[in-house]
């Protein structure tokens, strides 16, 4: 791989051992990918503070510097960690203090994470603590080279914002944070950003849950492809595209899609395919919609609901308001817990706006930083959970061994109030 | 002897029994690093342990936690011996690097069709060669 003089200096230790280790990893990684060079980035979204058993052991052995060296730089040397070279944020991680005592999630992990936040914020890491950094202070501009983790954020960054990132990991984002470099490969290269599949929906998409269902279909249909999506909908909003992308990145490996006329890199279907021949359209009609709904809902038999989980990916303020509106003057069933996950910054806004009060009065909770899948923890005794997120319903049964149902926000709120799952696929 | 020619991306040589998946593998929500087991309920390898095997699979899917989860298998002593996969993505490539096991990608023929679980396989990532030494 071709390195600039600056990059060679970093590799050779001119900026210290940690930067050298970071550059060494980027070279190994770039060469394994087949990248010709690195590119500059000033926008890194990764994870350093998330507790894990392996990380706890490393911290015990050699403090946070050791944990960062091994996990975020793939380096076994004892090295000092300098401040972040470029703007870097922490994505979602484990539960914070607001979730203490609500689940079996260990207090020791909450403490470890608090300790990590102190260490890394001192190094210049912005603790956004969300899977949706684009909602709360990290909004890349079109064409910007980023080094982001979190598949749902990556697909939003590429598709909706038109910025450029691959689906990075803890080690590559760690290396990027100390060097301001990432392999120029994959989604960074303009010629790689055109459509590979055409998907046409004949179902009108009216809610974000419908967009999620459609995204789950799209991911299964194209795997790691780059779908170009056409069909009929009213103007999609942030929540719609957040759920579409998250689901497509879960059932498949979609990192980039185009919706001609909506997303920035495709004014037309022709442009999405670089004016080349278009593939035959994959159809999404009532039959496909039912099939994907049934696949997602084949993980449950009991309709006695214990737990309602909203906000995956982390809820927007508008989604929180929609929940508050439905819960006003209502009471959640005493045997059910209702949680809405949101970024800390939006929780603060929700509190100022009165939504938190309404949700709390009904017996629900607005929580931050994490989600049950990330933290591998749900309220004690949960056997059956429901969500309006295809992604969470995909992951949580596997992670916690519980049953799951997917449905609309209205169906989820109904389950929270009645304790019974009555969801069914609406006619389209 | 069945031999595949590919590209070595993490150096080293290792031999062991193959564990073959024709479906992509998920890291986060797909494996339990503490036990080295596939935990995705609808996956063809559900419940299988990959520790000490040559893991042969089409590629990575799912969350960006892929590399971190496989790195955890190294740190917890449950890693595969080697990896052979087809589709080069950032997730799978970074995962192989931080798992630090010999890895060959982009073989000239599809290893997930031609290698069977239990076959003894030698992965020479220095030469970019995968050899089936014997059937199960």
CATH number at residue A368: 3.30.499.10
User: Does A84 reside within a domain?
Assistant: yes
User: Does A403 reside within a domain?
Assistant: yes
CA distance between the termini of chain B: 14
Last residue within a domain, chosen from A161, A190, A219: A190
What is residue A81's DSSP assignment? Answer: P
B61:A71 CB<8 A: no
Q: Are residues A142 and A186 in the same domain?
A: yes
B76 CB within 8 Å of a chain A CB: yes
The mean predicted confidence, pLDDT, of chain B is 95
CA distance between the termini of chain A: 52
In this prediction, residue B63 carries a pLDDT of: 85
B61:A252 CB<8 A: yes
Decide: residue A14, CB within 10 A, 0-12 exposed, 13-18 middle, 19+ buried. Answer: exposed
Size of interface A-B (CB pairs under 8 A): 108
Per-residue tokens: B136: 């199960």
In this prediction, residue A428 carries a pLDDT of: 78
Q: Which residue has the tokens 């999609």?
A: A236
Q: Are residues A322 and A361 in the same domain?
A: yes
The 3-state DSSP class for residue A45 equals strand
Q: Are residues A184 and A209 in the same domain?
A: no
In this prediction, residue B42 carries a pLDDT of: 82
Last residue within a domain, chosen from A234, A266, A296: A296
Query: Which of A192, A398, A402 to probe the B interface (max B CBs under 10 A)?
Result: A398
**Top-level CATH class of B2-134?**
alpha beta
User: Does A282 reside within a domain?
Assistant: yes
- CB contacts of B9 in chain A (<8 Å) are 31-32
Q: Are residues A318 and A382 in the same domain?
A: yes
Residues spanned by the domain of A317 = 307-418
β-bridge pairing B13-20 and B54-57: parallel
Q: Are residues A59 and A205 in the same domain?
A: no
- Measured at the CA of A427, the angle between CA A293 and CA A408, to 5 degrees, comes to 55
Per-residue tokens: A217: 């279909």
Among A34, A71, A149, select the one facing B64 at the smallest CB separation: A149
Q: Are residues A19 and A119 in the same domain?
A: yes
**CA distances from residue A111 to A58, A90, A217 in whole angstroms, order as listed:** 15, 17, 40
- CB contacts of B8 in chain A (<8 Å) are none
The number of beta carbons lying within 10 Å of the beta carbon of residue A350 is 23
The 3-state DSSP class for residue B120 equals strand
Per-residue pLDDT tens digits for B95-128:
999 999 999 999 999 999 999 999 999 999 999 9
**CA distances from residue A426 to A220, A239, A387, A394, B54 in whole angstroms, order as listed:** 22, 20, 16, 20, 46
Per-residue tokens: A296: 């997602």
Q: Are residues A99 and A184 in the same domain?
A: yes
User: Does A129 reside within a domain?
Assistant: yes
User: Does A302 reside within a domain?
Assistant: no
In this prediction, residue B136 carries a pLDDT of: 66
Per-residue pLDDT tens digits for A167-185:
999 999 999 999 999 999 9
Q: Are residues A315 and A383 in the same domain?
A: yes
The number of beta carbons lying within 10 Å of the beta carbon of residue A415 is 29
Which of these, B119, B134, B132, B125, lies nearest to B13 by C-alpha position? B125
* Alpha carbons A217 and A346: distance in angstroms, whole number: 30
Structural domain count of chain A? 3
DSSP string, A119-182: HHHHTTEEE--SS-GGGTT--PPTT-B-EE--HHHHHHHHHTS--B--B--HHHHHHHHHHSEE
Which of these, A176, A174, A198, lies nearest to A188 by C-alpha position? A176
Q: Could you tell me the mean pLDDT of each successive run of 10 residues in chain A, 428 residues long? A: 98 98 98 98 98 94 97 97 98 97 96 98 98 98 98 98 98 98 98 98 94 97 95 91 96 94 97 97 97 94 97 98 98 98 98 98 98 95 97 92 96 98 92
A61 CB within 8 Å of a chain B CB: no
A253:B68 CB<8 A: no
Does B63 qualify as catalytic in the annotation?
A: yes
The number of beta carbons lying within 10 Å of the beta carbon of residue A231 is 16
Q: Are residues A140 and A251 in the same domain?
A: no
In this prediction, residue B1 carries a pLDDT of: 86
* Alpha carbons B9 and A250: distance in angstroms, whole number: 26
B59:A224 CB<8 A: yes
Q: Are residues A183 and A201 in the same domain?
A: no
User: CA of B121, closest CA in chain A: separation in Å?
Assistant: 22
Q: Are residues A314 and A412 in the same domain?
A: yes
Domain residue extents for chain B: 2-134
Q: Which residue has the tokens 């998250």?
A: A246
* Alpha carbons A216 and A44: distance in angstroms, whole number: 27
* Alpha carbons A270 and A165: distance in angstroms, whole number: 23
β-bridge pairing B2-5 and A147-148: unpaired
Q: Are residues A28 and A133 in the same domain?
A: yes
**CA distances from residue A162 to A36, A145, A218, A227 in whole angstroms, order as listed:** 23, 10, 20, 15
H or E segment to which residue A376 belongs: none
User: CA of B128, closest CA in chain A: separation in Å?
Assistant: 12
Looking at the DSSP assignment, which residues form a beta bridge with residue A281?
A198
**Is the separation of the CB atoms in A172 and A44 below 8 Å?**
no
Last residue within a domain, chosen from A124, A159, A190: A190
**CA atoms lying within 13 Å on the CB side of residue A16:** 13
Per-residue pLDDT tens digits for A62-95:
999 999 999 999 999 999 999 999 999 999 999 9
The set of residues, in sequence order, having a beta carbon less than 8 Å from that of A378 and lying 6+ positions away, is A103, A307, A309, A372, A385, A396, A400, A402
Phi, psi of A234 (to 5 degrees): -80, 170
């Amino acid at each position: 791989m071709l390195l600039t003089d600056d990059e060679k200096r970093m590799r050779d230790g001119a900026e210290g051992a940690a930067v050298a280790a970071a550059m060494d990893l980027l070279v190994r990684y770039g060469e394994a990918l087949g990248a010709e060079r690195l590119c500059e980035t000033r926008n890194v979204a990764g994870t350093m503070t998330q507790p894990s058993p392996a990380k706890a052991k490393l911290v015990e052995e050699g403090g946070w510097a050791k944990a960062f060296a091994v996990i975020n730089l793939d380096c076994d040397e004892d090295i000092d960690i300098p401040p972040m070279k470029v703007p870097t944020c922490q994505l979602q991680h484990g539960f914070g203090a607001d979730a203490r005592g609500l689940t079996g999630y260990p207090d020791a992990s909450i403490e470890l994470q608090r300790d990590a936040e102190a260490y890394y914020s001192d190094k210049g890491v912005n603790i956004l603590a969300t899977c949706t950094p684009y909602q709360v202070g990290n909004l890349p501009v079109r064409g910007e080279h980023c080094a982001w983790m979190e598949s749902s954020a990556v697909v939003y960054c590429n598709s909706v914002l038109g910025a450029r990132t691959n689906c990075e990991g803890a080690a590559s984002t760690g290396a990027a944070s100390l060097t301001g470099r990432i392999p120029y490969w994959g989604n960074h290269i303009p010629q790689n950003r055109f459509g590979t599949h055409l998907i046409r929906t004949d179902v009108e998409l009216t809610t974000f849950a419908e967009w999620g269902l459609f995204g789950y279909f799209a991911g299964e249909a194209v795997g790691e492809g780059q779908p170009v999506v056409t069909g009929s909908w009213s103007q999609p909003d942030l929540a719609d595209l957040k759920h579409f992308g998250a689901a497509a990145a879960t059932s498949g490996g979609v990192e980039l899609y185009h919706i001609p006329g909506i997303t920035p890199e495709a004014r037309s279907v022709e442009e999405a395919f670089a004016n080349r021949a278009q593939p035959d359209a994959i159809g999404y009609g009532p039959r496909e919609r039912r099939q994907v709904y049934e696949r997602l809902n084949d993980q449950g038999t009991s309709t006695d609901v214990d737990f309602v989980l909203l906000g995956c990916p982390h809820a927007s303020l508008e989604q929180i308001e929609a929940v508050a509106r439905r819960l006003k003057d209502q009471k959640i069933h005493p045997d059910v817990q209702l949680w809405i996950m949101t970024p800390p910054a939006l929780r603060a806004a929700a509190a100022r706006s009165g939504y938190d009060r309404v949700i709390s009065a009904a017996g629900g909770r607005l929580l931050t930083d994490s989600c049950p899948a990330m933290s591998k923890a749900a309220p004690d005794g949960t056997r059956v959970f429901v969500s309006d997120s295809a992604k969470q319903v995909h992951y949580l049964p596997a992670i916690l061994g519980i049953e799951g149902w997917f449905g609309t926000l209205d169906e989820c709120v109904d389950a929270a109030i009645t304790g019974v799952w009555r969801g069914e696929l609406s006619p389209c | 002897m069945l031999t595949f020619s590919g590209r070595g991306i993490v150096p080293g040589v290792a031999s062991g029994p193959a564990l073959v998946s024709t479906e992509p593998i998920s890291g986060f929500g797909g494996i339990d690093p503490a036990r080295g087991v596939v935990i995705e309920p609808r996956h063809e390898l559900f419940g299988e342990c990959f520790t000490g095997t040559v893991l042969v699979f089409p590629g990575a899917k799912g969350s960006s936690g892929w590399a971190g989860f496989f790195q955890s298998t190294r740190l917890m002593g449950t890693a595969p011996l080697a990896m052979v996969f087809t589709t080069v993505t950032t997730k799978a490539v970074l995962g192989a690097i931080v798992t630090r096991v010999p890895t060959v990608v982009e073989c000239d023929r599809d290893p997930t069709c031609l290698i069977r679980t239990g076959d003894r396989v030698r992965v020479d990532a220095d030469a970019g060669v995968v050899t089936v030494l014997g059937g199960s």
